[in-house]
């Protein structure tokens, strides 16, 4: 029998087996020795992986198996399978080989402290901590013995990447949504390869886009008349000046439109009607005019006929006479002339700034501002040619002065633009193929049409649309990512865009594969303004800011909500995250920052004084503020609400899924909607908490809600729009709850403290999301040791943002690729990431 240390009598025991300290160096052989023959030893050497805590205890595998069977297998049995997990046959010695997915699920739940659940008996002392750390060391050792950096077949440019690639090559701003379908998301992100398989319809969309973009870039003096329409959201306020519009205007829209040729164009404005089909209610005041402007210069004034009706032949449309406009990108605006200053009398027109509620204006006497529904451009009529544009200057870097100079000039253009489009120098075959398209176009329409057709072929080429990484034909196992492919990986990770010439040159020479050079380039890219993509692309999707668009607060309960306010909320969060990146601050600021970024409008919404002007700036919260980190951001609080009330369930679920990386299981079938859980006996409206308590009386619901609800209730003082409140339906709010570890939480500050008691799972969840976005694939269980290694390394610097980024870039998963799939059992799954559901 192994001899216990002198203090073994006080050490925690399991099934009569005393726990004893043991050293572990991260290797698989040492792991086997550690769990089967515990001894007292010196501290382990640093390996970059989680290792034994000073003074920690380790039990042998039989003792740990007994812990799992006693504390876990009762619920997670073959018959009950709670959480879709069975531990009836748990065996520490073999789980890493037979069920790595189960091991990593256990590690995640034990790290967050969620298992055993509240109310269930837990082993004494640090037994669960020992089990979790032993599992981690076991999995790290097994993956170290058989490393697999993972792989993906290819990636294709999604909408955002396509727009940036076109801008980099041609300097042309486009909206990819005009041609490409919505991107499918996986693991929270729209750049994940496993859902990017092309279809015939999708490829047709890329072909259509290439045709139209090349036409707009070069210009088309023979362009046919066509119409482009810009829609204005119903929630958009008509009282404020929109970005890009001329001074002295309000409402409407201002956009950059690419005109294919010099010629005449007709601008059409369609107005919204009230439910009766009329433009205004019968007693509405009237003094409305619409200004049409091109590049800030007025080209037309449209008078509005107050008698307009949907029953009229013209409907609600008014249009200009033909207006001469030059080819190329031009800023066009359709806005109302501002005829009044100061606040609007909200006692008379409380909802007139937008038409979010379709019943507004239905009753006689309610005044409503006119609202633009669509702004359309039709033309060109009588085209006269194509003027010089910034895009044409970028394309036509040379001009033939004789017929013999045309093809050589075109070839130089093709080689230069093609290298940018393909993100590498062109091969002889690449040039030959593109020049064949030039020859065909030049034969029919001369030099410019030939270049346009070559450009169309370039933009529709798989070398532009897809990011296919080259692998040596003789390679086996895993190989280093080629230099040019590594350049693309890095630039699309940090910029969401193709690599620049310096990165391509380093990739082509092979120097980028050197760790020192790779990190130097990472630092350079982070300093570049284009690194804001980490905020607008990565953070926006990680935090699900796109869901703000899905919530339209009830206009009668929240008349102040408008499209511009929603946009400002999203911008606040993106600027906040960008500040953390640019200043290399701790990622813990995401949870605890006492500052944010506000403009005057959003500051007034939060009731924070002293902020003047439309520009965003860093603002420190007042001492009496209840806000800290993103849990006080209007974007997060709105996207986790429903139209007519807050949703503690959505808010708790969002925190568990997005921040903690531990999503609750989906609700059982036939769960009644929260709105149908009954009414108060005294006839008053129930508070959300009262409805939730009635809802939780269902035993099958309570098992999950005991985790979700206390988190969401702690944020319930924030209303649907993210404003602070103390009552709901006239009843004082009761936000008290017990965090799943027993901590009392009743406010955002107490919730923040409860979360930060366990920073490790928060930071590992962040790392997992960052890796998935950087790699363009789902993070799998074989990647978990790398996630842990990055988190441990960042912990030493208090989780500075750049340490996470450097850790991802230096990882084998980023710099290498496997030529075979992960060798895992049939039960293997990817690390669980929440679906984009809105279960309430």
User: What tokens does 699 get?
Assistant: 């035993």
The CATH fold of domain 226-388: Jelly Rolls (2.60.120)
Question: Per DSSP, what are the bridge partners of residue 646?
Answer: 641
CA-nearest of 361, 200, 208 to 273 is: 361
Which of residues 174 and 92 earns the better pLDDT score?
A: 174
At residue 119, does pLDDT exceed 60?
yes
User: What's the mean pLDDT in 612-616?
Assistant: 95
Residues 6+ apart with CB under 8 A from 489: 481, 774, 814
* Residue corresponding to tokens 């093809």: 407
Q: Give the integer Cα–Cα distance in Å for 25 and 57.
A: 15
Assess whether pLDDT exceeds 70 at residue 804. Answer: yes
8-state DSSP, 518? H
Strand 466-467 and strand 372-385: the pairing is unpaired
Which residues, including other chains, have CB under 8 Å from residue 307's CB and lie 6 or more apart? 279
pTM above 0.85, yes or no: yes
pLDDT value for 476: 78
Q: What confidence tens digit (pLDDT) does each residue in 295-307 have?
A: 999 999 999 887 7
- How much of the chain, in percent, has pLDDT values that exceed 90? 61
CA–CA distance, 664 with 646 (Å, rounded to integer): 19
How confident is residue 352, by pLDDT bands cut at 50, 70 and 90? low
Averaged over 456-480, what is the pLDDT? 90
Higher confidence at residue 496 or residue 353?
496
The pLDDT, as a whole number, for residue 76 is 82
Buried b / exposed e along 157-185 (16+ C-beta atoms within 10 A): bbbbbbbbbbebbbbbebebeebbeebeb
Half-sphere exposure of 9 (CA within 13 A, CB side): 1
* Percent of all residues in the chain with a pLDDT value above 70, rounded to a whole number: 82
Compute φ and ψ for 537, nearest 5 degrees: -110, -65
Per-residue pLDDT, averaged over 489-509, amounts to 97
DSSP letters of 140-189? Answer: HHHHHHS------S-EE--HHHHHHHHHHHH-----GGGTSPPPPPBTTB
Give the bridge partners for 309, in sequence order.
278
Three-state SS sequence of 286-340: CCCEEEEEECCEEEEEEECCCCCECCCCCCCEEECCCEEECCEEEEEEEEEECCC
* 822 pLDDT more than 90: no
562 neighbors 354 (Cβ within 8 angstroms): yes
Q: How far apart are CA 787 and CA 767, in angstroms?
A: 6
Judged by average pLDDT, the poorest of 295-309, 527-541, 598-612 is: 295-309
- Which pLDDT belongs to residue 307? 76
Asked if residue 31 has pLDDT above 60, the reply is no
CA nearest neighbour of 176 among 155, 160, 195: 160
Angle between the 483-494 and 501-509 helix axes, to the nearest 10 degrees?
Answer: 150
Helices (H), 776-835: 784-795, 801-810, 812-815
Domain boundaries, the chain: 8-145, 226-388, 535-639
CA–CA distance, 750 with 738 (Å, rounded to integer)? 11
Rg (alpha carbons) of the chain, rounded to whole number: 31
Digit-coded pLDDT (tens) for 736-786: 998 988 899 999 999 999 999 999 999 999 999 999 999 999 999 899 999
Q: Is cis: bond before 116, omega within 30 of 0? A: yes
For residue 138, give Cα distances in angstroms to 24, 99, 571, 782.
10, 12, 43, 12
Query: Is a pLDDT exceeding 90 seen at residue 517?
Result: yes
Residue 253, strand partner residues:
334
């Amino acid at each position: 029998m192994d001899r216990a240390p002198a203090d073994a009598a006080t050490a925690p025991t399991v099934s009569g087996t005393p726990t004893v300290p043991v050293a572990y160096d991260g290797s698989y052989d040492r792991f086997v020795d550690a769990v089967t023959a515990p001894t007292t030893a010196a501290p382990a050497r640093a390996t970059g992986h989680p290792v034994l805590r000073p003074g920690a205890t380790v039990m042998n595998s039989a003792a740990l198996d007994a812990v799992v069977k006693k504390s876990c297998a009762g619920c997670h049995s073959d018959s009950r399978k709670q959480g879709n997990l069975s531990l009836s046959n748990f065996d520490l010695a073999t789980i890493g080989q037979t069920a790595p997915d189960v091991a990593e699920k256990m590690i995640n739940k034990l790290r967050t402290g969620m298992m055993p659940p509240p109310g269930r008996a837990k082993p004494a002392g640090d037994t669960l901590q020992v089990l979790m750390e032993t599992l981690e060391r076991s999995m790290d050792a097994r993956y170290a013995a058989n490393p697999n950096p993972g792989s993906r077949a290819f990636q294709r440019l999604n909408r955002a990447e396509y727009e940036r690639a076109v801008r980099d090559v041609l300097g042309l701003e486009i909206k990819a949504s005009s041609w490409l379908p919505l991107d499918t998301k996986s693991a929270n992100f729209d750049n994940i390869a496993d859902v990017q398989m092309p279809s015939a319809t999708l490829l047709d969309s890329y072909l259509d886009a290439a045709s139209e973009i090349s036409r707009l870039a070069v210009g088309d003096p023979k362009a046919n008349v066509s119409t482009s329409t810009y829609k204005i959201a119903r929630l958009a306020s008509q009282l404020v000046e929109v970005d890009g519009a001329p001074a002295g205007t309000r409402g409407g829209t201002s956009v950059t439109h690419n005109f294919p040729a010099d010629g005449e164009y007709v601008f059409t404005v369609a107005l919204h009607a009230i439910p009766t089909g009329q433009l205004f209610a019968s007693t509405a005041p009237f003094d409305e005019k619409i200004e049409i402007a091109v590049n800030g210069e007025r080209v037309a004034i449209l008078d509005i006929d107050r008698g307009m009706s949907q029953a009229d032949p013209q409907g609600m449309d008014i249009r200009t006479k033909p207006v001469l406009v030059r080819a190329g990108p031009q800023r066009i605006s359709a806005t109302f002339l501002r005829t009044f200053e100061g606040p609007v009398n909200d006692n008379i027109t409380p909802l007139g700034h937008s038409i979010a509620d379709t019943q507004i204006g239905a009753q006689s006497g309610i005044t409503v501002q006119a609202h633009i529904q669509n702004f359309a451009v039709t033309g060109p009529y009588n085209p006269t040619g194509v003027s010089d544009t910034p895009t044409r200057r970028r394309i036509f870097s040379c001009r033939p002065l004789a017929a013999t100079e045309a093809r050589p000039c075109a070839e130089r253009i093709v080689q230069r633009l093609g290298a940018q489009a393909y993100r590498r120098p062109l091969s002889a075959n690449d040039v030959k193929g593109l020049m064949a398209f030039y020859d065909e176009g030049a034969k029919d329409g001369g030099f410019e049409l030939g270049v346009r057709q070559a450009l169309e072929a370039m933009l529709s080429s798989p070398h532009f649309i897809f990011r296919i990484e080259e692998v040596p034909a003789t390679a086996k196992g895993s190989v280093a990512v080629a230099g040019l492919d590594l350049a693309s990986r890095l630039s699309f990770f940090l910029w969401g865009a193709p690599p620049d010439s310096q990165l391509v040159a380093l990739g082509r020479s092979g120097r980028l594969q050197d760790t020192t050079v790779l990190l130097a380039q990472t630092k350079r890219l982070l300093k570049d303004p284009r690194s804001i993509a980490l905020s607008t692309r990565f953070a926006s999707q990680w935090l699900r800011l796109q869901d703000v668009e899905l919530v339209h607060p009830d206009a009668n309960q929240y008349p102040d909500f408008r499209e511009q306010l929603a946009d400002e909320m999203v911008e606040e969060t993106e600027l906040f995250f960008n500040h953390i990146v640019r200043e290399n601050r701790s990622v813990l600021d995401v949870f605890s920052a006492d500052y944010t970024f506000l403009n005057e409008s959003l500051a007034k919404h939060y009731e924070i004084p002293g902020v003047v002007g439309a520009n965003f700036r860093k603002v420190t919260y007042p001492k009496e503020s209840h806000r800290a980190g993103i849990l006080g951001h209007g974007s997060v609080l709105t996207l986790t609400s429903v139209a007519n009330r807050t949703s503690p369930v959505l808010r708790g679920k969002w925190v568990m899924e997005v921040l903690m990386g531990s999503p609750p299981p989906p609700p059982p079938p036939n769960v009644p909607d929260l709105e149908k859980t009954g009414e108060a006996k005294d006839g008053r409206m129930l508070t959300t908490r009262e409805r939730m308590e009635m809802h939780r009386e269902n035993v099958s619901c309570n098992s999950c809600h005991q985790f979700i609800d206390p988190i969401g209730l702690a944020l319930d003082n924030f209303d649907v729009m993210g404003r602070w409140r103390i009552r709901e339906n006239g009843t004082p709010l009761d936000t008290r709850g017990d965090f799943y570890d027993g901590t009392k939480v009743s406010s955002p500050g107490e919730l923040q403290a409860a979360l930060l008691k366990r920073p490790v799972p928060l930071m590992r969840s962040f790392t997992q999301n960052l890796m998935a976005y950087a790699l363009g694939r789902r993070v799998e269980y074989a990647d978990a040791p790398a996630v842990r290694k990055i988190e441990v390394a960042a912990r030493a610097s208090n989780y500075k943002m750049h340490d996470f980024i450097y850790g991802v870039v230096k990882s084998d998963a980023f710099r290498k690729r496997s030529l075979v799939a992960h060798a895992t059992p049939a039960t293997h799954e990817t690390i669980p990431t929440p679906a984009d559901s809105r279960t309430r």
